[in-house]
Structure 1
């Protein structure tokens, strides 16, 4: 299994289990540390899943 495949699986898991902050219209300036950490994690996984 390649790393791209692993990150694609992680991205699907993120989409299912982690909350979507865009749907709740979260303001990044007022986001808590854990929310910023989750956004950063989802961004990291998504970039690695798309990267070829």
Structure 2
């Protein structure tokens, strides 16, 4: 059985590609992006996969 969160990520990337959109390279995501950090720090994570239930 496949890990469900990884399955969701894989399916999301497949769906992005199927729509003809640019698939993000997950290996090059800036882990120190200030806007993203500020969003998480504010606690406004409702609806964000894997983070919306963390409080």
TM-score tier after normalising by the smaller chain length? 0.3 to 0.5
Task: Give the structure with the larger helix fraction.
Answer: 1
TM, length-normalised to structure 1: 0.35
Q: Which has the higher contact order (CA 8 A, sep 6+)?
A: 1
Q: Indicate the structure (1 or 2) with the bigger Cα radius of gyration.
A: 2
TM, length-normalised to structure 2: 0.33
